[in-house]
Amino acid sequence: ATDEGFVLAGSRRILDGQFPHLDFLTLRPAGSSYLHALVVKYGGANTFYLSRFIFWIQSAIIAWLWVVISNKLLKMKISTIYRYLLATIVFIFNVHSFPAMAWTTIDGLFLSTIGLWLITHFSKNGNQ
């Protein structure tokens, strides 16, 4: 079994009306099960394919936002073509390091990256 099975099984249990840590025990954070609940609900026979597609989308967003965050915090002026090239390199390193599946680690990196981007995007000078 992989972590993907645990995450998607937790999502199914949530959709069935159960509450993590109350109705069923899990050592993994429950946020991933909530995050992937729509995949389980609407995925049908393609749930695993859709789950892995979500991984690819999350990895692309992580790569792009880290380029944007780094660009702002380092106060660099990088052209658009170099940003895309750098994001592509970061994306390749990311998907090379992690298996393509619903995983609490990827979900945590995804949500943390979005949070860091929100902080840097809405701060006045990017250093707060």
- The one-digit pLDDT tens for each residue of the chain (128 residues) are 478 888 898 899 999 999 887 887 777 788 889 999 999 999 999 999 999 999 999 999 999 999 999 999 998 888 999 999 999 999 999 898 878 888 888 999 999 999 999 999 888 764 54
CA distance 77 to 54: 31
pLDDT of residue 31: 87
CB 20, CB 104: distance < 8 Å: no
Distance CA 56, CA 80 (A): 22
pLDDT of residue 27: 79
Please tell me the predicted confidence (pLDDT) of residue 46. 94
